[in-house]
């Protein structure tokens, strides 16, 4: 079996009055992410992990923020395109693991919805989609509520 792994990382700044999309679901919050797309920083990190498996570059390269086609785009569509690239190379997604660092709101009530949103796009059962959340104990830019940081790992098989 041909097995490949990849990792991804992304950060978005928070600002008041914007929608907060994270892991494919909208989170009730007074703040949302500043972005060219819908700002779903978790999906962006996940896309980069999948692209990293196949050394296909990064989503900034694939979906440049200079291109008006991606303005306000639903990041789930970007993820679907990346999964298409994985399939085109003859691979399927094995499992993914995502860690989200956000001071608030608490994400625990939304983890199940994120896994349910991502699994069908990835073409895997929900138990192959791990989403974890942490605060940074009020330390750093995440802790000050200035932004959100996400790490993602992915494994694909042929």
Query: Which residues of the chain form contacts with Mg ion (CB under 5 A)?
Result: 10, 44
Which one, 64 or 145, has the nearer CB to Mg ion?
64
Which one, 83 or 91, has the nearer CB to Mg ion?
83
Q: How far is the CB of 131 from Mg ion (least distance, A)?
A: 17
Q: How many CB atoms lie within 10 A of CB 47?
A: 28
Which one, 44 or 76, has the nearer CB to Mg ion?
44
Task: Provide long-range contacts, Cβ within 8 A and 24+ apart, for 136-141.
Answer: 136/101, 136/103, 138/103
Q: How far is the CB of 85 from Mg ion (least distance, A)?
A: 18
Q: How far is residue 157's CA from residue 89's CA, in Å, rounded to a whole number?
A: 10
Q: How far is the CB of 12 from Mg ion (least distance, A)?
A: 6
Best CA proximity match to 33, nearest among 66, 64, 75: 75
Report the residue number whose CB is nearest to Mg ion.
44
Cis peptide before 105 (omega within 30 of 0): yes
Q: How far is the CB of 55 from Mg ion (least distance, A)?
A: 20
Best CA proximity match to 20, nearest among 112, 88, 103: 103
Q: How far is the CB of 35 from Mg ion (least distance, A)?
A: 6
Which one, 133 or 149, has the nearer CB to Mg ion?
149
Sequence-distant (6+) residues with CB within 8 A of 17 are 30, 31, 32
Which one, 1 or 68, has the nearer CB to Mg ion?
68
């Amino acid at each position: 079996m041909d097995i490949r792994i990849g990792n991804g990382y992304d950060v978005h700044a928070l600002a008041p009055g914007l929608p907060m999309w994270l892991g494919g679901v909208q989170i009730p919050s007074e703040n949302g992410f500043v972005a060219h797309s819908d700002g779903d920083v978790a999906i962006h990190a996940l896309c980069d992990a999948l692209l990293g498996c196949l050394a296909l570059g990064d989503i900034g390269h694939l979906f440049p923020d200079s291109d008006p086609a991606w303005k306000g785009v639903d990041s789930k569509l970007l993820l679907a395109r990346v999964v298409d690239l994985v399939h085109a190379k003859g691979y399927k997604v094995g499992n993914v693991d995502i860690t989200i660092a956000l001071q608030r709101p608490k994400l625990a009530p939304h983890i199940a919805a994120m896994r349910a949103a991502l699994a069908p796009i990835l073409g895997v059962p929900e138990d192959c989609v791990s989403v974890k959340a942490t605060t940074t104990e009020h330390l750093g830019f995440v802790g000050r509520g200035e932004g959100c940081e996400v790490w993602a790992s992915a494994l694909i098989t042929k």
